[in-house]
Structure 1
Amino acid sequence: MTSILFRFIANAVALAAAVWLVGDITLGEDDASTGSRTVTLLVVALIFGVVNLIVKPIVKLFALPLLIVTLGLFTLVINAFMLLLTGWIAGEDRFEVDGFMAAVLGGLIISIVSWAVNLVLDRD
């Protein structure tokens, strides 16, 4: 149970970092309050976690030949598509990724930050 909570927190922190660092990724309305944006971030982190839990393994299975040929670099493209899918599911008023290159950069940032947060939080 704590592992799920750690992953949820890591996803939320990583998404916040991607929103902060990439200008083409927006979270909620610009004039929204901090509490409203925090709730939106938590909902988007939950959606992102479910997408990564259900959709990502299926996509990786079908993309296995490309993953092997590119020595795993195609994972960046898969992460970008998962971020775009999350934006589509959440809706443009909550979370918007404007363009594929923003999604690739955001996916890279999310991967690095969530790895670092999981490294710090998961002390088994």
Structure 2
Amino acid sequence: MKLIFKILLTAVAVVLLAKLLPGITVEGYTTAILVAIVLGLLNLIVRPIVIFLTLPATIVTLGLFLFVINACMILLADNLINGFEVSSFWTALLFSILLTILQSIFYAILGQDKEQL
């Protein structure tokens, strides 16, 4: 039940950011839910591998390279999902930062800790 709740919160955040950012397009709510599921799977499976492989770059940049990895996960989701469009790398970077902030706000408002979900 908590997983479904987390997916729905992420989908709401995706829809809100698609309406706010000019370079993001989401065709519908079903696509937003699919984006939330795919991003969750990518962050669960692909992201740890990429972080491990790029550990020297992450250390040299004092962790700022993790923003690049997050943007790449957004672009990968863009390539995997029809109906979800990201215009550029910089839009994906801004989208990933704002998505993280918006999810944190949602969890704080609802009184849910991110680790509990």
Give the TM-score taking structure 1 as reference length: 0.81
> Residues 82-116 of structure 1, C-alpha deviation per residue, up to 9 Å, x if partnerless?
0000010002xx10001111111111111111222
In the alignment, is residue 67 of structure 1 matched against residue 58 of structure 2? yes
Shift of 1:16: 1.8
Once the two structures are overlaid, the 10-residue window that deviates more, 72-81 or 15-24, is: 15-24
The question of whether the paired residues in 1 share the 8 Å contact of 2:35 and 2:84 is answered with yes
The question of whether the paired residues in 1 share the 8 Å contact of 2:38 and 2:77 is answered with yes
Over the matched positions of the two proteins, sequence identity in percent amounts to 38
Opposite residue 104 of structure 2, the aligned amino acid is W
Shift of 1:118: 2.8
In the alignment, is residue 57 of structure 1 matched against residue 56 of structure 2? no
Once the two structures are overlaid, the 10-residue window that deviates more, 11-20 or 105-114, is: 11-20
After TM superposition, which residue ranges in structure 1, 4 or more long, deviate above 4 angstroms?
A: none
Q: Which residue of 1 aligns with 2:102?
A: 113
Change (3 A) 1:120 1:61: farther
Unaligned runs of 5+ in 1: 29-36
The question of whether the paired residues in 1 share the 8 Å contact of 2:18 and 2:24 is answered with yes
SS at match of 1:72: coil
Q: Distance in 1 between matches of 2:64 and 2:85?
A: 24
Shift of 1:7: 2.7
Opposite residue 19 of structure 1, the aligned amino acid is A
The question of whether the paired residues in 1 share the 8 Å contact of 2:71 and 2:89 is answered with yes
Q: Distance in 1 between matches of 2:84 and 2:101?
A: 20
* Number of equivalent positions: 113
Q: Which residue of 1 aligns with 2:7?
A: 8
In the alignment, is residue 23 of structure 1 matched against residue 14 of structure 2? no
Q: Which residue of 1 aligns with 2:38?
A: 47
**Structure with bigger RCO (C-alpha 8 Å, 6+ apart):** 1
